[in-house]
Structure 1
Amino acid sequence: MGCSITNLGDCVAEAVFGLFLDILNSASRPFLDLIKTFMIEPVSITAFADIWGIIVYILSMFYGLLIVWIGLKFIVSGESPEQREKAKSDLKNIIIMMILVQGSYLLYDLFLATSASLTNVIFDMVSNSFFRLSLESVSNFGFDLIFGILYIIHLIIVLVLVLLRYIFVSAGVILFAIGVFFYFIPFLNSYGRLILNGLGVLVFLPFFYSIAFLVGSKLAELNQFRDYKTLIMVGTLDIIILFTFLLLLFVIVKAATKVKPIVNVVKAVV
């Protein structure tokens, strides 16, 4: 807006309001940088490599027992072709399980690299201006200021979520080996699927975050929504936060339903 003696008041107001938004933008920048780092950088799992080695060593102690158990099933199957084929199938699954458990570290690292690459591709499509508070009109300054403060609060919440996700996924290399082991044991299969599904969701969670950011940025670029850019930014973060908590609730409920039969058995024995 050009300044002259006739609109000096508007120019001063715009300059003051712009200063407030610059302060908010400066305050939000460190949070945005950290969120982006935790989202697009591959999770480092080297800190848990030694623990993973110990877990795999413990699991490998059961390989011999499982093979002996399958051998006994094959022997007692007699002349039943169905039982003999079942024993052969179980042996094949045990061999596949042994290979996957031993290579679970590299396999998990590959999944993390794939998730980071996909997230990076989508995130690069998001306009950098989407994350920057801007003053579209002086009349909307109060609206933008309130939602600008809410925006920073939401950024802090999202930063905590991606940080916790980073920590859990980093330690997840240990659970991944256990989940693979459980998956190929018939009576532990449901627990193995629960572990693997939970880790899969956590590993690829940033990819879904980046899609939400991309959709929000494209909406903010539309003329009819341009004056509500700050509201769209906050709404996008709200969707991410709500999606994460609903997902966490689903995992907790799912885990509770899997553990309940074990609790009932323990109660019956006691």
Structure 2
Amino acid sequence: MKKTDKLYQALQRKSQDIVNALSLVSTTKSLIQNLRDEGWQSLFVKVVSFCENNNIQVPEMSQSYKDIIRSLSEKDNVTVEHHYRVDVFFAAIDSQLQELNSRFNESVTELLRLSVALNPKDPFNKADICSLGKKFYPLDFTEQENIQLKSELQHYELDFPNDPQLKNVQTIAELCRGLQETGRVKVYTMLDRLIRLVLTLPVSTVTSERAFSAMKIMKTRLRCSIGDDYLKSCLILYIEREIAYSFTSDEITDAFAVNKRRRVQLLPH
């Protein structure tokens, strides 16, 4: 198998894994929200049953909740039920939802949803494909090129089902390779560019992922006071350590010596 074929397959698997993960995140958000809206009563019944089976006293839910941490001047009459339902149950769920929303925001979800529109197995959606290029790749497509992409999609919609070499493709990677092998890349220039941008999306996030992973290693509990400039330098050396290993000690010493005049002269060995 050619290296390009392996690369296409690896990119396709990575893209599909991301789409599947985002789909799972979306359903998880819905389930957690349903738990928040409708899960309190069933949870309360289970807790009461557990307490009764283990001889644990259940507090009266309608009584006022006494909290020694609360200010004595606080006038709100909070019941025991309100405390456990709002201050504990709702607070824990809202914290989880906030964490999911901060890590997987709507912009990322929409990007991957629109990217799926390029999949040849899914129903053709010209509007989603045009929105993908216009909204998420404004620096890669000018206004005129967006118009050209829309025109290409009109031809592609009629041409794709009738082409014997393209109608059987199953993935975005196979579609990209098929356009190249059939020479259709010259006809669908903007579409080919958009497909390549989507396929390289997982690769483009590798650098940022490596940076966050390296930050956990470099800035530990014992290095909590490390400065931003020094941390940045350490991260660069750690992330690009293959390049750093190519420098010799003499080259580093010479660069350090000529950086500015120093009281102690660094002489070569």
Give the TM-score of the pair, scaled to structure 1.
0.29
Between the two structures, name the one with larger relative contact order (CA 8 Å, sep ≥ 6). 1
Instruction: Give the structure with the larger helix fraction.
Output: 1
* Larger gyration radius, structure 1 or structure 2: 2
Normalising by structure 2, report the TM-score.
Answer: 0.29
